[in-house]
Amino acid sequence: MSTRITSLFGIRYPIIQGGMIWCSGWRLAAAVSHAGGLGLIGAGSMYPGVLREHLRKLKAATDKPFGVNVPLLYPQTDELMQIILEEKVPIVFTSAGNPAKYTPLLQDHGIRVAHVVPSAKLAVKCEKAGVDAVVAEGFEAGGHNGREETTTMTLLPMVRDLISTPLIAAGGIASGRAMLAAFALGAEGVQIGSLFAASEESSAHPAFKQRIVEAGEGDTMLSLKELVPVRLLRNTFYVKVKEMEARAASKEELQDLLGHGRAKKGMFEGDMDEGELEIGQVSAQISAVRPVVEIMQWLVNDFQKAKEGLISDI
Amino acid sequence: MSTRITSLFGIRYPIIQGGMIWCSGWRLAAAVSHAGGLGLIGAGSMYPGVLREHLRKLKAATDKPFGVNVPLLYPQTDELMQIILEEKVPIVFTSAGNPAKYTPLLQDHGIRVAHVVPSAKLAVKCEKAGVDAVVAEGFEAGGHNGREETTTMTLLPMVRDLISTPLIAAGGIASGRAMLAAFALGAEGVQIGSLFAASEESSAHPAFKQRIVEAGEGDTMLSLKELVPVRLLRNTFYVKVKEMEARAASKEELQDLLGHGRAKKGMFEGDMDEGELEIGQVSAQISAVRPVVEIMQWLVNDFQKAKEGLISDI
């Protein structure tokens, strides 16, 4: 399983744990990196001081490569980047913004940079910005999303045809079979979110992990398209959003309903009714909260099994 | 490339040409069957007499296996099934309805039956109804769709874990790479629509084929969710639908706008502005109108290339 992605990041398996708000602190990142993948701290839900604290704990916990995901849509991005430089973070994944903005600065400090995109058009922009890797994320993914609604199956081949930069697939991947499918579509690594959000080491509230385990088919929907599209688990808050959308409520009304701290309330504090619960469609396939080491072993074994099956079948 | 699907239908390649309204008459089905796949006549846009005419021409044109797709939502379904029995059609794909309704009747006459579903829940229902194969169709597919918005990448592994019936993947497949990905996810065959809708032998209007070739990323959207969800190419009609939806128009208003014959007007008569243009997200990957024999050869070669690449890469 050595690919350009394993070489680029110096990791054993081409498996990246997505940097998610409220779920991926130092404990999750350390566990994934320790198990041979690439653990990412999700800085999107962290004040600069909190990020520094997580980075110090992560560095004390592992000598393996690790990284930070920084969504470029918050006002404190400059401060987060400053801390990333000071704490000598080796790898940064950026998302939700212009890849040209921070890539040169980070690379000047020897940092490997990947950028997450929902479209082939933006993948080309990433390559022009000189990123070291591109994450192509399909419609089925949790968290923030593009407006084209392009699925992983459709997105990957288009991106692969347009760029030569190392490519990581995201969205809909929670098994070795899906990893193999992503490789068939041209990816050299995968980014997995939901499965790790539901892991023991995730900082998500236990009630949210339980909801992920219980989620079935059709229980997540891409929502809040008028603001920033995000995939939500159905709950009381989701129903309110749908009611507003059904009567063509204004952006302002939706923004008022969303308010501040909805995601924290749900994913971190465990309010399953009024909280904003961001998760991927693939949550329907997740059936238990497991430790990261078990998840990683299972992924690698399932991938090998799928690969052998595929070769013998066709 | 021999799988349970090639055995079941007696075909050379596990490639099924989706039965599409206004695109797949006898000429397209004959060309696909002749090239080693399974050609399907799309009966959804045919009066019973028209279906009989197409069947007779198809049988005169090829001695290879062929089939008919029958969406179970039209009032004339009983008459269509009667003609299918009389004309001794060997294979029927049903969709958009209850698989238990016609499967026993068709199978009693020695006909192989496949049913198309957008969810794992309905796949289980198909297995219980005793169908010979299940087509699991993801959100990215053209034509009619489910309300769960489950993508091919997410849907396939869920279906595979729940049923043992031979499984065909649909949605987002227009290359050998995507075929390989579908096999990795547990499919034993693929159903391809958009790529064949844009073939020379398709009965679609040349202007529609040209629009498919020109379509780019984000140019299709799952629409008319309040009526029957369908993936549409952006055009004047689409913009009107979106405007109505944005002001929360009623079902009745939408139904009035849709009227009758919109799909025929667009896909068959070539009105690219006011017609309803149903096509898959994968239209963004289609770059030329080609004869079926060339498409089939390319698919098979691309599949082999992808398979060899995958085996040597990982």
Going by pLDDT thresholds of 50, 70 and 90, the confidence category of residue A145 is confident
**Do B267 and B288 reside in the same domain of the chain?**
no
For residue A307, tell me if it sits in a domain.
yes
Angle, nearest 10°, between helix axes A176-184 and A292-313? 50
In chain A, positions 153-172, which contact chain B (CB-CB < 8 Å)?
A: 153-154, 157-158, 160, 171-172
Contact A153 B157 (CB under 8 A): no
Q: In a 3-state reduction of DSSP, which class is residue A16?
A: strand
Q: What is the pLDDT of residues B164-183, one digit of tens each?
A: 999 999 999 999 999 999 99
Report the pLDDT averaged over residues A38-62: 97
pLDDT, residue B150, reads 97
Nearest to A228 by CA among A147, A158, A174, A130: A147
- Set of chain A residues whose Cβ sits within 8 Å of the Cβ of B173: 153
**Do A255 and A295 reside in the same domain of the chain?**
no
Going by pLDDT thresholds of 50, 70 and 90, the confidence category of residue B248 is confident
Going by pLDDT thresholds of 50, 70 and 90, the confidence category of residue B143 is confident
In chain B, positions 253-272, which contact chain A (CB-CB < 8 Å)?
A: none
Residue whose tokens read 């479209």: A119
In chain A, positions 106-135, which contact chain B (CB-CB < 8 Å)?
A: 119-121
Q: How large is the ipTM?
A: 0.96
Neighbouring C-alpha atoms within 13 Å toward the C-beta of A135: 27
- Set of chain A residues whose Cβ sits within 8 Å of the Cβ of B160: 177
For residue B211, tell me if it sits in a domain.
no
For residue B60, tell me if it sits in a domain.
yes
Contact A138 B150 (CB under 8 A): no
**Do A244 and A197 reside in the same domain of the chain?**
no
pLDDT, residue A258, reads 92
Q: How many residues does chain B have?
A: 314
For residue A210, tell me if it sits in a domain.
no
Q: Quick one: CA torsion of B214, B179, A121, B229, rounded to 10 degrees?
A: 70
**Do B138 and B48 reside in the same domain of the chain?**
yes
For residue A49, tell me if it sits in a domain.
yes
* Residue A266 C-alpha, separation from nearest chain B C-alpha, in angstroms: 23
Instruction: Name the phi and psi angles at B36, rounded to 5.
Output: 105, -5
pLDDT, residue B312, reads 81
Contact B307 A314 (CB under 8 A): yes
In chain A, positions 280-299, which contact chain B (CB-CB < 8 Å)?
A: 281-282, 284-285
Going by pLDDT thresholds of 50, 70 and 90, the confidence category of residue A144 is confident
Q: What is the pLDDT of residues B52-104, one digit of tens each?
A: 999 999 999 999 999 999 999 888 999 999 999 999 999 999 999 999 999 99
| CATH code, domain carrying B184 | 3.20.20.70
3-state secondary structure string, A224-283? CCCCCCEEEECCHHHHHHHHHHHCCCCHHHHHHHHCCCHHHHHHHCCCCCCCCCECCHHH
Please count the helices (runs of H) and the strands (runs of E) in chain B: 14, 11
pLDDT, residue A228, reads 87
Rounded Cα gap, residues A290 and A73, in angstroms? 32
Q: What is the pLDDT of residues A183-236, one digit of tens each?
A: 999 999 999 999 999 999 999 999 999 999 999 999 999 999 888 899 999 999
Q: Which pair of tokens denotes residue B227?
A: 């009526």
Listed in sequence order, the residues at least 6 apart from B279 whose beta carbon sits closer than 8 Å to its beta carbon are: B142, B193, B194, B197, B212, B215, B220, B231, B232, B233
pLDDT, residue A143, reads 77
**Do B43 and B57 reside in the same domain of the chain?**
yes
For residue A208, tell me if it sits in a domain.
no
pTM, to two decimals: 0.97
**Do B234 and B276 reside in the same domain of the chain?**
yes
For residue A28, tell me if it sits in a domain.
yes
Q: In a 3-state reduction of DSSP, which class is residue B86?
A: helix
**Do B20 and B147 reside in the same domain of the chain?**
yes
**Do B54 and B146 reside in the same domain of the chain?**
yes
**Do B134 and B220 reside in the same domain of the chain?**
no
Q: What is the pLDDT of residues A257-288, one digit of tens each?
A: 999 899 999 999 999 999 999 999 999 999 99
Going by pLDDT thresholds of 50, 70 and 90, the confidence category of residue A301 is very high
Residue A104 confidence (pLDDT) above 80: yes
Range of the structural domain that residue A80 is part of: 4-203+283-313
Residue A248 confidence (pLDDT) above 90: no
**Do B184 and B225 reside in the same domain of the chain?**
no
- For chain B, what is the domain count? 2
To the nearest whole number, what is the mean pLDDT of chain A?
96
For residue B246, tell me if it sits in a domain.
yes
pLDDT, residue A97, reads 92
**Do B244 and B99 reside in the same domain of the chain?**
no
**Do B224 and B185 reside in the same domain of the chain?**
no
Nearest to A47 by CA among A25, A67, A16, A17: A25
Contact A153 B154 (CB under 8 A): no
